[in-house]
Structure 1
Amino acid sequence: MVAMAQTPPSAERLRAIDGFLAESWADQARHDDRLRDLAVEVRFDRGVAHLSGEVAEQAELRLVRDRVGRLAGVLGVWGRVRVGGRDPVVVDLGCGATKQWPGNLGLDIFPAPGVDAVADLSGSLPLADDSVDVFFAVHILEHLIDFLSLVDECHRVLRPGGVLHVMSPWWRHVNAVADPTHVRLLDVQTVKGICLQRPPGTPRWYPLHVGCDGASIFADLTPLPPGADGPNPSHLARFFD
């Protein structure tokens, strides 16, 4: 199926959407007994929900992000939440001088003020198995000829319940081709391929949320352990053809 062109929302409309989402979430949190007493703050920025605060266990964080992600208009659910009194280990891939949050570990192939460790992201990450809670791959996959090796490394390094956040230019938008260092074009269906269409024996992902605003694609993915059930058709139908 050919993707139809979209026009990204104006800045004014994005502010209005964020206001609508904030009101919708506040109303949901007031009326859902499971959410009312959780110490999680949800802030919306251009359709992306940013979670902060603290929960007692991973299941509570999964509940919050699932309920936030069901709001129409949410493009991604990015989190930095303490679980059981422990700060999450958050890694920015290809961060350059700017991290998504201060205190994140920054990895990049070039030294810069925000880079904590120099690493070739097309190779092995200098991180131990099951050692990271959150990866940010913001405007990085489109720069890699083979980004699947990086995705596989993220799967290896993420703890159970961890999340890989992806943001990349949408292939139909001029931003995807205007930068001559971009070597890959991505679509929401690319994320479907990552999660569902890879050979047996390769790392498997569960798509928590996938969206497109007409300029960028967003994906929140969590690793599936060997033998685990994948997403059901009704969940996939929210994101993919």
Structure 2
Amino acid sequence: MIEPVSQQRLRLRDEFLSQAAAEMFKFDERLRGLDLEVRFDRGVAHLTGEVAAPAQLDTARELIGRLDGVFGVWDRVRVGGREPLILDLGCGGQKQYPGNLGVDLMTTGEVDVVADLSGPLPFADSCADRVFLVHILEHLIDFLPLVDEVHRVLRPDGAAFVLSPWWRYVNAVADPTHVRLLDVQTIKGICRRPGSSRTWYPLHAGCDGASIFAELRPLKDGPHPDAGHLARFFD
């Protein structure tokens, strides 16, 4: 069984990852000169700044995600001078980044759009660059309709950021509002659903012994992930 990473180890790991990322941006020709800043918080890399093209952001995400100890790679980055549209679903009283569009059924100071996440999202097709699903899926008896809606509203080069309790950690069952249990293998099932036209390409997935993390890109025209890529994250 995977044990949750201690607070001290998380802090020390964040310090190591910060140093490793700084060296990458200094010496790796693919990253050198990019106007990006990376901050690590409990093993999650937070990318901010600006790049000229989507491929530059994808490269930075991919290389940072390869560092040992990175559980997730989240970003709020301007691309080609355009501010991203980021939906923060079920944000409650705290958005993941200032400037995100907060969406929730309950009204708080952080909620910009009131919507029931168990129904259709009030957004146009292919409008969003990023969608946060932080501690949401475990609260829905059937979360696949929401996953499909996120697929619909994301741009082809967009990404969904998922964070949920790991099924073997006590917090997954201690909260009586949790009605679903999730594992990293659940993410694999979301990516490859037989008979579904709304499939996903996993950019990153991981588990820290308490939570599962995933970044998923909607597959609309691109190639499906091969077995080698899936084996990087899943059994």
Which residue of structure 1 lines up, in the alignment, with residue 225 of structure 2? Answer: 231
Q: Name which of 202, 218, 227 aligns with 1:207.
A: 202
Which residue of structure 2 lines up, in the alignment, with residue 79 of structure 1? Answer: 75
Whole-angstrom CA distance in 2 between matches of 1:119 and 1:133: 19
Paired residue secondary structure (2:182): coil
Question: How many residues get paired?
Answer: 235
Paired residue secondary structure (1:44): strand
Code of the aligned partner of 2:214: A
- Flag as ranges the 4+ runs of structure 1 deviating above 3 A: none
Whole-angstrom CA distance in 2 between matches of 1:123 and 1:172: 29
Whole-angstrom CA distance in 2 between matches of 1:91 and 1:193: 23
Instruction: Give the TM-score, by structure 1 length.
Output: 0.95
Whole-angstrom CA distance in 1 between matches of 2:212 and 2:147: 16
Query: Any idea what the Cα deviations from partners look like across 1:51-79, whole Å, max 9, x if unmatched?
Result: 00000010100000000001111000000
Which residue of structure 1 lines up, in the alignment, with residue 213 of structure 2? Answer: 218
Corresponding position: 1:21 with 2:17 = yes
Whole-angstrom CA distance in 2 between matches of 1:69 and 1:78: 10
Give ranges in structure 1 of 5+ residues lacking alignment: none
Whole-angstrom CA distance in 1 between matches of 2:15 and 2:7: 12
Whole-angstrom CA distance in 2 between matches of 1:200 and 1:142: 23
Code of the aligned partner of 1:202: S
Paired residue secondary structure (1:185): coil
Whole-angstrom CA distance in 2 between matches of 1:80 and 1:238: 25
Which residue of structure 1 lines up, in the alignment, with residue 189 of structure 2? Answer: 193
Q: Name which of 97, 103, 107 aligns with 2:99.
A: 103
Code of the aligned partner of 1:190: T
Q: Name which of 132, 145, 149 aligns with 1:136.
A: 132
Question: Which structure 2 residues correspond to residues 144-159 of structure 1 after superposition, within 5 A?
Answer: 144-159=140-155
Query: RMSD of aligned C-alpha atoms?
Result: 0.9
Code of the aligned partner of 2:11: R
Instruction: Give the TM-score, by structure 2 length.
Output: 0.98
Q: Name which of 109, 112, 118 aligns with 1:113.
A: 109
Code of the aligned partner of 2:22: A
Whole-angstrom CA distance in 2 between matches of 1:201 and 1:210: 21
Corresponding position: 1:167 with 2:151 = no
Give ranges in structure 2 of 5+ residues lacking alignment: none
Question: Which structure 2 residues correspond to residues 22-101 of structure 1 after superposition, within 5 A?
Answer: 22-101=18-97
What percentage of aligned pairs have identical amino acids? 64
Whole-angstrom CA distance in 2 between matches of 1:101 and 1:35: 23
Whole-angstrom CA distance in 2 between matches of 1:102 and 1:33: 31
Whole-angstrom CA distance in 1 between matches of 2:92 and 2:180: 20
